A and B are shown apart, each in its own frame.
Chain A
């Protein structure tokens, strides 16, 4: 069985690790001291780039690369730490804030040093009252000990950290929504470009980084890039000649919930498979896996055919899903996929910020269609439409054949695809919330179409056995781009 490798969470359960003195006993702040004593800011930024660290908040964008977009000649620059953690199925940041807040402060200090940043705002979701309290107390201690404030440890650096509470809106997790919210407005995402790295909070260059991403920094600096890159797979990106390394380095705080025996946060090297993770989490609660959501509720669903998919950024992207925030939700054979989709669509319909028409209207429409199907009132008329699949040229496209489909299912797919098209990956919205709506809607429907059809046909929710409910990969274009990436070392 795959072993847990606790790095970020290593001292999480040490009593009083939330206090400066105990944190200090476990190497606390020594990595920051090493950074300022041994490296120039640019060297730290280069180390982070070389480490291959990818953002843990959702987008999985290379952290070092993001930092390189920040113009260093515009002052002041800001760091916003994203502690909004609202993606359903994700709960790893909460434990850092509540139990080991000094680790986050150390990560922030390293980022501030590397980027020449003096002010950091930690945007904490409003419901995290305990987390905010613990972090506030830790910040206060750090000021008292001279690790924050004016002239940090006699280095001439001035670094301030402030916590900022959210107020219950999911969309404030999106980086520009967060920035707007931080500025005291409605949390409505901005058009990009300009990206926050260039024009962020108060229109100044801003680094937005998830809690977990920042918590990786002390270990990259403390143990070195080589140590860090040994964890997790590095694939060969064969779109380049010669192939470029595509790093999925480090550990991930996998959050697993739903139908497993021991839900929780497991820190493991990136790249273990879905079935391995379920095994680590005490095994399945139930007889058979019906479906797995691999990266928070926004991620396209995986079927039991796809349990060998490795849970890392590259593999999941190639499986036409995403690692997202690393929130894995497992569903067993007793679950009805229509019902699950309804739950998720209610969430999105509630959380749309309302700026873009396709999202504001489309999301409740999708919800209403799923509601109708779940209520047994799905429209029984069928329509004939071109059948998509593997076309003659071997790629996904029009097969030249036609298929019969219930009107409501076609409508569901079409409304969702008009918010954001999952096949072409283009969206008609300001932020990628649109994709987060259409991805689950379309992927659940395509991969579990028999269950949707049964609900319409029978006029009530019907939970089919797993084998019958799932469309096999070879019959479904939702799976078509799927292949297993090769590790760089194996080339």
Chain B
């Protein structure tokens, strides 16, 4: 994918605050490319997901090819290349959570939000029609002592039951 082939409708640039944060970040590493992950996190927080415009901008900032940025974005599950809901709900389904009935939580969320579970290549599948929620399964969130757990955006919710899920969603 050469740079000319990327169709960019609206160019992307960091807002002032994020630009400041980026300027601080880049000074931490002896090579610019190393700031890739924090820069992409920053960009995703601003843009919602990683658009081609974001990739192009990040590539310019870090002085690498767009392909290289794309290469990284596709590797890491936390970077989205499609729009996601306002609330991203991550349900842990690895063994310790499975032993504590995470399936009940997952099924309850599916029914309540009336949506399927997103896959990494099809986020729309797990996004509600109103664009409010994206439901996805993730691997162990390192909180197995309080299983089953989910994360909604940056917050962790512990020891869940169907009733607790209702309560949490009502209070969002």
Contacts and interface: CB of A to CB of B under 8 A. Distances in A.
A257 B147 contact: yes
A122 B134 CA distance: 30
A60 interface: no
Interface in B46-75: 62, 64, 71-72, 75
Given A87-B140, A183-B33, A263-B147, A343 B78 contact: no
Contacts of A89: 95-96, 140, 144
B145 A167 contact: no
A386 interface: no
B76 A169 contact: yes
B145 A263 contact: yes
B92 to A, nearest CB: 9
Interface string A160-198: 101011111110000000000111111100000000000
A329 B34 CA distance: 36
A350 interface: yes
B141 to A, nearest CB: 6
Q: Which 9 A-B pairs have the closest CB atoms?
A: A184-B36, A167-B76, A257-B144, A168-B78, A168-B77, A88-B140, A184-B33, A167-B78, A186-B75
Given A166-B76, A256-B145, A351-B139, 8 more contacts: A85-B142, A94-B142, A130-B156, A167-B78, A168-B76, A202-B31, A255-B145, A344-B94
Bin chain B's interface residue count.
Answer: 35 or more
B95 A165 contact: no
A297 B34 CA distance: 30
Given A126-B78, A185-B36, A347-B94, A86 B99 contact: no
29 contacts: A85-B142, A87-B140, A88-B94, A88-B140, A94-B143, A126-B41, A127-B78, A127-B141, A162-B28, A164-B38, A165-B38, A167-B77, A183-B34, A184-B35, A184-B36, A184-B37, A185-B71, A186-B72, A186-B75, A202-B31, A202-B34, A257-B96, A263-B96, A265-B145, A297-B94, A297-B95, A329-B95, A331-B99, A347-B95
A300 B139 CA distance: 20
Contacts of A181: 37
A340 interface: yes
A258 B151 CA distance: 20
Nearest to B73: A167
B151 A202 contact: no
Interface string A101-126: 00000000000000000000000011
Given A186-B72, A327-B144, A331-B99, A127 B41 contact: no
Interface of A: 85-91, 93-94, 125-130, 160, 162, 164-170, 181-187, 202, 255-259, 263-265, 293, 297, 327, 329, 331, 335, 340, 343-344, 347, 350-351, 353
B37 A258 contact: no
A344 B140 CA distance: 11
Contacts of B87: none
Given A130-B156, A258-B99, A343-B98, A187 B35 contact: no
A370 to B, nearest CB: 13
A126 B72 CA distance: 14
Contact of A127 (B40, B79, B151): B151
Given A183-B33, A329-B99, A168 B142 contact: no
Interface string B137-161: 0111111111100010010100000
Interface string B20-45: 00000000101101111110110000
A90 B62 CA distance: 35
A174 to B, nearest CB: 14
A347 B97 CA distance: 13
Nearest to A344: B95
A311 to B, nearest CB: 17
Which of A167, A182, A258, A264 has the most chain B CB atoms inside 10 A of its CB?
A: A167
B95 A86 contact: no
Contacts of A130: 154, 156
Nearest to A170: B139
A86 B36 CA distance: 21
B104 to A, nearest CB: 15
Contact of A91 (B35, B100, B142): B142
A343 to B, nearest CB: 5
A293 to B, nearest CB: 8
Contacts of A169: 75-77
Nearest to A88: B140
Contacts of B77: 167-169
